[in-house]
Structure 1
């Protein structure tokens, strides 16, 4: 572990990085040359997310590639993966909708023993990044707006539909930390006036894609969770809410009857 007097640690700490020693160690272990260390520190000090600086993020036991401009997978979203795995250990078809880097899809594929995996996102940069992360599991990534991106052959066949939709209310986007606000795509953050616009669209069409007994899982915030459960129920799904106090995670689960 670098000492607090280390110049890299000092630069990171001066920039406000709370875990400066840990970040310095990660940067040094990732960089191939001293010049790369300097360049990475400069990017981090200027406000870029650490994961963009490193080019990867740890997620559910995997090292996931995360390119600049792509949504960074959050640790709390590991709870969504855990819920999906507990529900559908024998899942044969998995879809990661609004996939970003493809971290959720890759983690599900790794945990479920190689299901047929599809991922989709509207952002070309996310699609390129996701292809890197799901390729080891034989996954396919499609570009487009929600279900419009998916092959019609998946209708009625999906056992696990994970959708880490954007859920920040439009009026709150400006309150996000600058790392997210300035360096992640708005399409991955802005969920409309009440933060539930995309969630509604996903839930409304989910019954056409889920297999009998299949489940839709969506992350949301604590204040939004009761309304999100209602949206799922109105869509004809058996709705439930799973909560992790440790990770501050709220996952709405809708299961096909």
Structure 2
């Protein structure tokens, strides 16, 4: 112990020792296991979105909010008509249809300045700024432009730990490393309380949340966890989020 204390007084040795301590920390070890578990799950969001679109006939209309690199999802979506929205903060090439924030997009759409304000989408995928306030606004706006039998899909609704659910994306010195789900879960849980929509969360790809106005994919629940505390969410996530498998979703929707 005395030798360790002496070595900690020397900067290079201190960094090495502290690094080993960090890597052996139970929080770090457990979260690494959860990272590997989550990244091994399938299907990914693309397959779920395409499945939902496949039941809508030959002419389908799709909107994606928060594209980043379109090769990650947008380019693989099978819809006869599709549109993309992204301000280009994280992907400078930003080859999308509407280079703006989702707030600006919906404002211009409502004013009939882009597309047609009578447009209705079969699926709207929300994967933009992963902060609860913004996600909530995106859901509110999306509900105005989704078909009655359409679906709103959200990514990152089921963060494995509080480190994944941090508010600051750019802070990597946590056991979650670069993985980040933000506080999307709070917005989705808020809408789980709303009896005007049905909802579920497919337990894959960091949680793929789904909302529908008419398709009963899951009844709303009585409001719980009023302060949106992560520990309480973690202990009750299956019920709170209506976590289901992709096979169960196909059984319900199909």
TM-score by length of 1: 0.47
Q: Which structure is higher in helix share?
A: 1
Q: Which structure is higher in strand share?
A: 1
